[in-house]
Amino acid sequence: EMPFLKADISLRNLAGEINLHPNKLSWLLNEKLGQNFNDFINSHRVEHFKEIALLPANSHITLLGLAYDSGFNSKTVFNTFLKRKRE
């Protein structure tokens, strides 16, 4: 499963899917991975974006369309996350 593809995924939703309290999931992400929830989800979305962007079958889809297909819910979120990761 790829819950990060859901544009409306939240910490609470993901915690429910893996049967973990949201506070525990947040703590694990922060302490063990050094990421907050949004960065964790968006990093998976970017990796998915990079995979599907290379597929010849998707050559007709715009970058923004691929971003939406990767779970990003706006152009601003996509661009902001990429800029932050580049710095």
Residue 29 structure tokens: 């992400």
pLDDT reported for residue 79: 94
Say how many Å lie between the first and final Cα of the chain, rounded: 30
pLDDT reported for residue 9: 95
Global pTM value: 0.90
CA 40 to chain centroid, in Å, comes to 7
pLDDT digits (tens, 9 = 90+) for 13-58: 999 999 999 999 999 999 999 999 999 999 999 999 999 999 999 9
Which one-letter DSSP state was computed for residue 21?
A: -
For residue 86, pLDDT over 90 is answered with no
Residue 85 structure tokens: 């990761």
H-helix or E-strand spanning residue 38: helix 37-53
